[in-house]
Amino acid sequence: MEEEPLINSGVQHSPPKDRFNFVYIVFYILGLGSLLPWNFFITAKEYYQFKLRNTSYPDEHFKDPTIQTELQTVFEGTVAVASMVPNLLFNFITAAITKRMSLKTRMAVPVAIILLVFSCTVALTQVDTDNWQEQFYVITIISVMIMNACSSMFTASLFGLAGMFPVKYFQATMSGQAVGGIFAALANILSLTGSEHIIESGFWFFIAASITCIVTLLGCISLHYINFSTFYLHTQFQVEVSSSQLNDDTHAQSGTISKPHHEFIVILKKMWVQGLSVCLVFYVTLCCFPAVASAIGSVSNHKDEWTEKYFSVVVCFLLFNVGDWAGRSLAGMIKFPRASHSTSLMVSSYLSEKAGAIMSVCLTVGLALGSLTSLLLVKVV
């Protein structure tokens, strides 16, 4: 028996069965793909440290902190800011246009753009940028901004979409985001292991990102052709039409004009505590990760592949994302408070996408403030 949707639709019909949990797996993949640009750009530390190295010294010394260039020092902090500022801006934009642009467009088009930019990033791995490092740095930051703007629209729309389905599908989305970080860290480890040079490693690393984008895009499209998912999508559409007509009739009789911002106030009253909690958790996280955490190095006097090649990606990125995934998974298994509790997030289906977009905004505000703080911390330290 299916659980109730996270956002109550008010329409009671028996849904078809999610055969082989296919839709559940699709939501996991969509969650994985939602933070793909962020996860891959912050995990590719070794590649960008090499690209932005001090070319006056031999290549093997590109990680020596005593000869680091300014671009190497500020890269991760700048990427964090360049990721979160457009992310935050487009979260607000997405929340405002949920009823003006179709869900399918808001999800498929951003992923297609991300795929295009990742393809350009793959091409740049094969170009010698030693003589134009500053221009390469600017191109990279612009790419990060474009991809995270698209990722923001996709993620906010995905949260709204997941709210139309039973609760476990929203949990699959959240867990998928954590798995995305694990996937990026493992892809980096494998690319480092299977490649003789850091440039070759970067090439295969971003190829993996491009393939994941294609799978994510196919997952978006597939939801509109599977009986189980189309049931919830059509139910949502019917409720929206009914609610819209009811609002129009009510306002026509009363002689008033509908004010969309009233809907946001209704949602915020129901979920401000949870939204603030999410904001603070991600603020504290981004203060430390990745800019500060990735600067930690092995203190061992014995220099080998572990200390020189794998330490940062395993200790900083892989362990962090494994912990992130474990925490999100436990939150799905330990349900507290219960659905009957006064803090329940149940709102009408007519507001479901706005509710998902607002929660995404809360998350991104925390990320943006945390990334700005981390940039200041790196400068101070």
Residue-range domain boundaries for the chain: 19-380
Query: What is the pLDDT, as a whole number, of residue 351?
Result: 61
Cβ atoms within 10 Å, residue 326: 12
Determine phi and psi for 266, rounding to 5 degrees: -60, -45
CA separation for the pair 18, 36 (Å, rounded): 26
Task: Note down pLDDT in tens along the chain; length 381 residues.
Answer: 455 555 454 445 678 899 999 999 999 999 999 988 988 998 898 899 999 999 999 988 888 888 989 999 889 888 888 988 898 889 888 877 877 888 899 999 999 999 999 999 999 999 999 999 999 999 999 999 999 999 999 998 898 888 888 888 988 998 898 899 999 999 999 988 888 889 999 999 999 999 999 999 999 999 999 999 999 887 754 444 444 444 444 444 444 444 556 667 777 777 888 889 989 998 998 888 877 887 787 887 777 888 877 888 898 889 989 998 898 888 777 766 665 544 445 555 556 666 766 777 788 788 878 878 887 887 776
Determine phi and psi for 279, rounding to 5 degrees: -60, -45
Peptide bond into 5 cis (omega under 30): no
Query: What is the pLDDT, as a whole number, of residue 348?
Result: 52
Does the pTM surpass 0.85? The reply is no
Of the candidates 23, 310, 287, the residue with the CA atom closest to the CA atom of residue 176: 23
CA separation for the pair 215, 28 (Å, rounded): 12
19-380 folds as: Growth Hormone; Chain: A; (1.20.1250)
CA separation for the pair 297, 295 (Å, rounded): 6
What burial class does residue 294 get, using C-beta atoms within 10 Å of its C-beta: 0-12 exposed, 13-18 middle, 19+ buried?
buried
Query: What is the pLDDT, as a whole number, of residue 245?
Result: 47
CA separation for the pair 275, 46 (Å, rounded): 35
Place of tokens 């801006």: 89
Query: Within 13 Å of residue 54, how many CA atoms lie on the same side as its CB?
Result: 14
Query: What is the pLDDT, as a whole number, of residue 219?
Result: 95
The SS3 of residue 166 is strand
Tokens of 1: 């028996």
By the 8 A CB rule, do 280 and 366 touch?
Answer: yes
Query: What is the pLDDT, as a whole number, of residue 80?
Result: 81
